Structure 1
């Protein structure tokens, strides 16, 4: 019987007697079988009616169907009514891990157990023959860290199926992880763009991560939104360290940029080189022309002198 339920015939009985005597003078007695429950009963009066509540704490030997009796006496009149109630014991199932915290690669026994009449199921385990106990052996891996196990027990009582659950979490200790998914090995960005450098090491306990450039030890600003500059370029060594070990990974950062000053300088140098080449060619050409002219003049002089010599008589 649920607390607060009205008992048949009592309202009419109290209404009839309430016209003659105050209902507050009524005496109420509750009993479960032969056991009196008066010490745990609470009587509440509502005008010409009353309600009685009690806390039932069944004993092991009382499990099963029992008679709950409510007797009311007012003046020289009395009335008694009975209800059938079911006493049962159904604690939450026991869910145990052979070790709640283990190192990676350790075998862990997971067990779910309830009272003999119950049927239990354990999350993540293939269904087997129905029964009050389920076990399975797990070889703990890093992926099992934080894994939650749920044990559910079902018990049928008086035609109703009752359920209770219990959960436990497994902690797996493992060394640092730092792969392509956690920390890309190559980053290429445009100069001036806003970027967040994401590199995160996994592990239990959580590892400390540090990324420094090989050539000068400059730190990579991991996790901060910042403006990309060409000074960020380089190869960095990322170290993830915890009490479970150390892992090293190289990360390359390339910054794409266009240098207008260098382009202008290259153009200027090219023009100067071109002008220098043209000047040198002109100088050589003029020199060769002068040499040819001088040689021609000398040849003409020699010819003239020879002719004059031949023309003079002996």
Structure 2
């Protein structure tokens, strides 16, 4: 036997002597392939790369090409085995309850005194358990997070591959071909994703594959998919921070969310008591009805939830008692320059946020007073323009967006002396002779002044229809008076009239007469010439008729062009 073949045989015997569970030594390199003795015979193991499930059994066969029927061979391993009846050139064993994750099996044969061995690596695998995909929590739009999948107790790890995906898209595939661990190990795979709205509702998947091909099975298992949920909720709900209501007044309060995905849920409460609310069709607004019987300040809370995120907005609801305001005026009739005292007040028991003010409508257009607590006292110095103005007392909560309540108005009567101006009594008035006109002159004042006008000391009616005449032109003195005084104004009246020119009329008459004479003369001449021509024609005809018939030609006998009839 050659030394290169003898050394592995001795090592194998030493290993078997040390114990059945010792790992067989690796044979030293030989210049010839394993299982050959000077190419006289070969030794082989089937299967060449045995694979068995952990705890299972596998049948191995050691074969030789030795032609000697007396050749002896066997399989040696640290695993408990059961021998089968051997035949020429073949030995079979069954390895029972394989629990070693990696072991080596020795096959040897002795042929003609020569011993040849081969080795086979026995790999045990563990049935692939279902991988576990960790739940993916809600993700905010644009948020990045790791997806994690783990495979429990897999062996051998180097034959494992794990694929993460979502929808029809593959996110990541990880392999472990460089993992040298023999026993089962838990394998963890992670991959980062960034959430977008389009990903909402897509399934994240995890598939584990244990490939022992071509000598063993190809195992595959899928984790339970995890649905990806994406949300967007960038801003708090919108709610008016201050809400003002009168006792027992019914009003709607609105809570709105402008931007959200996929859907928003609203909760409204008043002092921690839930309020029934209706949500708009587009899901952006929740509306609740409020009506409170007692005054006070109440906390209104609107909570909006989108996905896992909740945002809140709160407001204060001010409920107030709002009686009608009352107005007291020291006097409503006074003279210009006198003072009037005005009091604007609310009855006892009104709510503290209420404020009052005095408003003046008409007259000189005074601005309202500022909002002040009740009672409000104000002094007004009467002017002529205030005559007829109305005073009212208004009550409201300023800047609450609600119309104020108003008391009954008080009208001022301001007395003042007569006033005449261009609008009521123009200084210059133009009339036209023959037209119906009136002298326009009126005066302002309280009491209403009496107006009288006169021309050269003679009274002239005012505002009465007159037929304009040239005598009305001139200057009028108009005087207005009441119990507080009098005033005067000078008015000038101009009367327009029309006199037709006499010379022009005479020229027109003469022209007409001359035209008539010329026309008559012309006609007379024409008539005389016509009569003369007629007379001459008649005389010629008479002379022709008196001539003898024999001496006349036929044409002469027929002066009118007719030919006399022929005789018999």
Q: More relative contact order in 1 or in 2 (CA 8 Å, sep 6+)?
A: 1
Give the structure with the higher percent helix: 1
TM-score (norm 2): 0.28
Mark the structure with the bigger radius of gyration: 2
